[in-house]
Amino acid sequence: MATAEKLHDRAAQDLGILRLNATLQAQDATRMEEAYEEVYASLKKEGIATWAYDGDVPAEVVPHVAALMAENCLNTYSVSDKRYVRITRSASKAKREIRAEVQDEYVSQDDPKDY
């Protein structure tokens, strides 16, 4: 599980605006909060945000949510072409990966298991 602050840091690191073991500046922290809010609202609308807004984010979806946050911030921060491609590729498959992680496995009603 990860807190929203950990997600902010991860997205900022993906964008190259935060070094490891550093702290976000106030304006960057505010932008990351906005990105999380917008990404969470989008995921909630699609029914794949299974955690509470203020709650911990499941570890298996953290990299995907961070990728969506980084993509959300591309208009705010200038990044290299290589970084841009890496972020957009990660974000393009992020919702599909989140959906796969939070979706319950199908249980067949035709072939029940006898415990």
At 80-105, the pLDDT tens digits run 999 999 999 999 999 999 999 887 65
Per-residue confidence (pLDDT) for residue 114, from 0 to 100: 65
Judged on CB neighbours under 10 Å (0-12, 13-18, 19+), 62 is: middle
d(CA 87, CA 110): 43
- Look at residue 33 in the predicted model and tell me its pLDDT: 95
Sketch the domain layout of the chain as residue ranges: 4-101
Q: What is the pLDDT of residue 102?
A: 83
Residue owning tokens 């906005």: 34
**The length of the chain, given as a count of residues:** 115
Compute the radius of gyration of the chain from its Cα atoms.
16
Q: How far is CA 14 from the centre of its chain?
A: 11
Which stretches of the chain score pLDDT less than 50? none
Predicted local confidence at residue 2, as pLDDT? 84
The whole-angstrom separation of Cα 42 and Cα 101 is 17
